[in-house]
Amino acid sequence: MAANAALSLGIDIGGTFTDLVLHGPTRERSGTLKVLTTHADPVQGILAGTRRLLEQAGVSPGEVGRVVHATTLFTNALIERKGAVTALITTAGFRDLLHIGRERRYELYDLQLRPPEPLVPDELRFEVPERVKADGTVLVPLDLAALEQRAAEAVAMGAEALAVLFLHSDLHPQHEMEAVTHLAKRFPALSVTASHGIVREVREYDRGSTATANAYVAPLAERYLARLGTELATLGIEAPLLLMLSNGGLTHVAEARRAPVQLLESGPAAGALAAAFLAGEGESRLLAFDLGGTTAKLCVVEKGEPEVVFGFEAARQARFIEGSGLPIRISTVDLIEIGAGGGSIARRDPIGLLKVGPDSAGSEPGPASYGRGGTQPTVTDANLLLGYLDPASFAGGRLPLDRDAAASAVGALAEALGIAPEAAAWGIHDVATEAMAGAARTHLAERGRDASEFTLVCTGGGGPVHGHHLARKLGIRRMIIPPEAGVASALGMLAAPPRVDRVMSLGQRLDACTASSLAAAFGGLEEEARQVLSDGGWTGGELAAGRLVDARCVGQGAYMPVNLPPAPWPEEDEAVRSLIRDAFRVAYVARYSRPPPAVPIELVHARVVLRGARGGAPTGVAPEAEAGRAASRQRRIVIGGEEHEAAVYRRAALPAGFKAAGPALVEEAGSTLVVGPDARFAVLRSGNILVELG
């Protein structure tokens, strides 16, 4: 599959807007579009937007060479508990494994603590006789008759999907394989997930949580992806449909259907990738900030790449507390996401304080200013009253905003709070931005980073609106706003490389490993990953293979990922052990700031990351200077509770080298940049806008 297809279509579904980007080899064959997400049937919004975008760019459907798609549908189904009715079949004696979890209270002294609720209810968790020991010895053979009976009971109770989780199947998956084969013959309409097929890692709870999450969204993913492909073909687009993964890479439809849990964080990952790609060279430390209609996402990007971790927690009960969510063991861009976006609803809490989010008006009915039936005040309504948004040009002029409706909604809240409407509007903006700043402080502190050393990259429809105030709160002095910032996530997808991550359990001390056994383990994972890429059509070009191990000191419970040198490796046992030992020491010092103790090392997992070449994505070029192009008008805005007269510019009219001081607004179809009175901005040759705060 060519990385640089003649025309690429990027589609990113968010909670409020669906963003579409068409990129061709010439700028006149490109275009962007934001349309409201149609939650009842997201495909309808995609099709309507695609038709309009193709017509706008003068492109026929048959000219599209590839379609790249990211979506929040699956993670929303998980969070909102709107997935399939799912059952679990596990080893006899372990039916309560998902409920028991790690037996750890994430808040020790909270008497009202709510542990994360399993996706599989108690009545749909079943046991069957079977047992394989950790060394592979079959203690109890799998009882296929009991398996079939339990599955029949689950189906009779309405189960659409089923997860199979047997003890030690990460090392010895034969019983799970046998069970899946048998169930596929007896219950062909039942979606079945085997835990070892999703994640071959130790710890049954984590593996079971990931497998049940996959089963929970699999029927939805199957129906959605099949229909989307069919409808795009009906539209005349016969191009391959590629899916954005949570790790910042791309995969093909068959792999996405097999393991849709890999797509849970695909939308946020696209935003982080966009920041890394669009910010340009010369920026070693970036804080990617993407603000949409429903959520805000923040991600650290260093040396041009967002960090990828090998697990996260979904649907946390406590926003920033580890252990309060469902563990999902997949590769994912390391970011933090909070319920603060343009549609976040503001309210007076029981003790009289102003609160914003995490619930959102979304696109249906949307903020009060959308004029679609919403009556509750939102962040977008506040930003409109503060003067940041032009009612006539919002979302490219396709969604005019109703200022009177926004004033009515915010005014009612102001009356409840006992303050002036303008103070309420600024309070909503400030509280929402403080929630983002708090998330950023947490994210950076966990990594031992100082915010002042970073450049803030603002994307999404609301990122440039809140970026200045966020930077002030964090002590950041520089901001970069890429062209078409409002649809940057869709742009980022077009730059994503194909990627496959594979893992398997090792469970051996390093001094017991041999060069040949490690070569076989990594070689098998690499071959499996190459087959996935081959099935997706990525057969040409260079592939970069990365090797890692999860390792720990013997006696420790926690382990950490250790990057290893690329192949080929020495053939001598001690030379390979020394290579891994040196890499472990480097990783240990980087994490704990001291050398590891003089004890043996245990290798928990082997990991392989296989990546292809980046895709072809647009990079902006600012227009040449022309007399009169940068003319501005004036608009009253409120910053910090104070009124200012701001110069308002059209971004498309600003040439490279243009400089101006704040207060100012720079408008484009999908977003508006707010520049405070203490800042200056300049248009770079790349088309990016650099804002420097005083």
Q: DSSP string covering 335-394, please?
A: EEEES-STTEEEEE-TTS-EEEEEEE-TTTT--GGG-SS--S-BHHHHHHHTT-S-TTTG
Domain boundary among the residues 171, 204, 237 is at 204
The stretch 158-170 carries a mean pLDDT of: 96
Q: Alpha-carbon distance 445 to 502, whole Å?
A: 30
Encoded tokens for 324: 């309060």
In-domain check, residue 400 = yes
Number of domains in the chain: 3
Q: What share of the chain is helix, strand, coil (3-state, %, to 5)?
A: 35, 25, 40
Mean pLDDT, the chain, rounded, equals 90
pLDDT one-digit tens code per residue, 475-485? 999 999 998 88
Domain boundary among the residues 548, 577, 611 is at 611
Encoded tokens for 176: 């799970």
In-domain check, residue 490 = no
In-domain check, residue 510 = yes
Give the three-class secondary structure for 300. strand
pTM, 2 dp: 0.89
At residue 26, the pLDDT reads 59
At residue 155, the pLDDT reads 97
pLDDT surpassing 60 at residue 623? no
At residue 196, the pLDDT reads 95
In-domain check, residue 405 = yes
End-to-end alpha carbon distance in the chain = 48
Which CATH number covers residue 560? 3.30.1490
Nearest to residue 271, comparing CAs of 292, 285, 250, 253?
292
Domain boundary among the residues 204, 227, 245 is at 204
Encoded tokens for 96: 């309560």
The stretch 177-195 carries a mean pLDDT of: 96
At residue 626, the pLDDT reads 47
680 contacts 662 by C-beta, under 8 angstroms = yes
The stretch 16-23 carries a mean pLDDT of: 88
In-domain check, residue 591 = yes
What secondary structure letter does DSSP report for 657? T
Q: Alpha-carbon distance 532 to 611, whole Å?
A: 11
At residue 253, the pLDDT reads 95
Strand 138-140 and strand 544-553: the pairing is unpaired
Q: Alpha-carbon distance 445 to 501, whole Å?
A: 28
Q: What are the backbone dihedrals phi and psi of residue 575, each rounded to the nearest 5 degrees, phi first? A: -65, -40
Encoded tokens for 455: 């450049």
What secondary structure letter does DSSP report for 509? E
In-domain check, residue 25 = no
- Label residue 387 by pLDDT band (50, 70, 90): very high
pLDDT surpassing 50 at residue 59? yes
Give the residue numbers spanning the domain of 383.
344-430
- Label residue 1 by pLDDT band (50, 70, 90): very low
pLDDT surpassing 50 at residue 531? yes
In-domain check, residue 142 = yes
In-domain check, residue 492 = no
Indicate whether 426 and 503 sit together in one domain. no
At residue 640, the pLDDT reads 87
Encoded tokens for 82: 């709107």
At residue 441, the pLDDT reads 92
At residue 247, the pLDDT reads 92
DSSP 120-179: S-GGGEEEES-EE-TTS-EEE---HHHHHHHHHHHHHTT-SEEEEE-TTTTT--HHHHHH
pLDDT surpassing 50 at residue 8? yes
pLDDT-above-90 percentage for the chain = 65
Q: What are 296's strand-pairing partners?
A: 291, 338
What secondary structure letter does DSSP report for 32? E
Indicate whether 103 and 190 sit together in one domain. yes
